[in-house]
């Protein structure tokens, strides 16, 4: 019995050793793969001379960026900012056409009145006043202002406009216009307005539309971005994807909380995917 017991113990020890060896080999393979992947990424970055959005110029170290949101009145908050504190302000202020009260309805056979989907609010009763635009131009070097066609009395002449073609059809607007401070030709972006469960704001704009807008502005990693009307938070997510230093302001507590929840869900998904 003693001899059999000893042989059995030797067999167990041998299996345990094999298991440890396999695990160590697996970890070594993972380490080598990750090292080669990082080396490859660094090589690509060093060879990239086009400097697309999200890259640091001249091979410099990536700047420290953040994502900060503020609950409050945007005009009062901007009064606390320095002159030209932000490289770009990308904003979507109220147009003064009553969208906050639930104007319009959704598309499709199951179309519903927007007032039945969103809490009626009075934020779109009138457009921003002169003081808003004075503060906006003071604190930012360049601007992209959605709904610029509603604010021509406050904006200088510019040939740099962005046209968002929404592919809605019917009695819906074919698109929206953004005034910009850039001396560039007008550019068009095409994408249908977002619908469904991910939409909680009546004038919610797609994340990809903001990606396009940042590229139009020539934004590069580390630039300071301001959004005075955060709303659904699409601009914040797009800025984070591009490595931009973002500050957003929202006066409505419900929208503020929902956009914060959306941003946290986006960041959680990145962690799940290993980014």
> Which tens digits make up the pLDDT trace of 250-272?
999 998 999 999 999 999 888 77
- Residues contacting residue 107 through CB under 8 Å, at least 6 positions apart: 168, 170, 172, 195
Q: Are 153 and 129 in contact (CB under 8 A)?
A: no
Cα 256 from chain centre = 15
Among 162, 158, 157, 148, CA closest to 213: 162
Q: Are 219 and 243 in contact (CB under 8 A)?
A: no
Strands 175-180 and 140-146, how do they pair? Answer: antiparallel
Give the per-residue pLDDT at 64: 62
Strands 140-146 and 245-250, how do they pair? Answer: unpaired
Sign of CA dihedral 252, 181, 205, 218: negative
Strands 86-91 and 224-227, how do they pair? Answer: parallel
Domain covering 64-272 in this structure, CATH number: 3.40.50.150
Give the per-residue pLDDT at 151: 95
List C-alpha distances in Å: 4 to 8, 11, 16, 211: 6, 11, 19, 71
The gap between the terminal CA atoms of the chain, to the nearest Å, is 56
List C-alpha distances in Å: 39 to 36, 55, 104: 5, 17, 53
Give the per-residue pLDDT at 24: 61
If residue 23 lies in a helix (H) or strand (E), which one and from where to where?
Answer: helix 2-47
Among 143, 148, 156, 133, CA closest to 88: 143
Q: In angstroms, rounded to a whole number, what is the distance separating the alpha carbons of residues 236 and 176? A: 20
pLDDT in tens, 168-211: 777 778 899 999 999 999 999 998 876 555 666 677 888 999 99
Q: Provide the token pair at 221.
A: 């990693």
Give the per-residue pLDDT at 40: 41
One digit per residue, the tens of pLDDT, for the chain of length 275 reads 444 444 444 344 466 665 655 666 565 554 554 444 444 434 433 333 344 444 444 555 556 679 999 999 999 999 999 999 999 999 999 988 666 555 445 555 445 555 555 576 655 578 899 999 999 999 999 999 999 999 999 999 999 999 999 887 777 788 999 999 999 999 999 988 765 556 666 778 889 999 999 999 999 999 999 999 998 889 999 999 999 999 999 999 998 999 999 999 999 888 776 55
What are the phi and psi torsion angles at 247 (to 5°)? -130, 125
If residue 190 lies in a helix (H) or strand (E), which one and from where to where?
Answer: strand 187-190
Q: How many residues does the chain have?
A: 275
- Residues contacting residue 89 through CB under 8 Å, at least 6 positions apart: 136, 139, 140, 142, 143, 144, 145, 225, 226, 227, 228
How many CA atoms lie within 13 Å of 202's alpha carbon, on the beta-carbon side? 25
Give the per-residue pLDDT at 121: 64
């Amino acid at each position: 019995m003693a001899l059999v017991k000893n042989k059995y113990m030797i067999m167990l020890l041998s299996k345990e050793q094999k298991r440890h060896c396999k695990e160590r080999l697996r970890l070594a393979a993972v380490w080598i793969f990750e090292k080669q992947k990082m080396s490859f990424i660094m090589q690509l970055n060093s060879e990239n001379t086009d400097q697309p959005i999200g890259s640091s110029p001249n091979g410099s170290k990536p700047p420290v960026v953040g994502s900060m949101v503020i609950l409050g009145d945007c005009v009062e908050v901007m009064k606390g900012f320095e002159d030209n504190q932000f490289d770009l302000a990308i904003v979507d202020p109220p147009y003064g056409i009553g969208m906050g009260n639930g104007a319009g309805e959704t598309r499709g056979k199951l179309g519903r009145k927007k007032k039945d989907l969103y809490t009626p609010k009075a934020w779109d009763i009138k457009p921003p006043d002169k003081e808003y635009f004075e503060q906006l131009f003071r604190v930012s070097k360049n601007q992209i202002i959605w709904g610029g066609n509603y604010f021509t009395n406050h904006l200088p002449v510019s040939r740099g406009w962005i046209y968002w073609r929404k592919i809605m059809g019917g009695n819906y607007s074919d698109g929206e216009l953004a005034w910009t401070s850039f001396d560039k030709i007008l550019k068009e972006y095409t994408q249908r307005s977002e619908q469904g469960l991910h939409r909680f704001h009546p004038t919610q704009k797609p994340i990809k539309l903001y990606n396009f807008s940042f590229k139009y502005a020539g934004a590069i990693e580390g630039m300071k971005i301001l959004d005075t009307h955060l709303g659904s938070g699409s601009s914040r997510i797009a800025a984070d994807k591009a490595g931009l230093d973002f500050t957003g302001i929202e006066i409505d507590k419900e929208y503020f909380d929902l956009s914060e929840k959306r941003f946290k869900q986006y960041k959680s998904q990145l962690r799940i995917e290993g980014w």
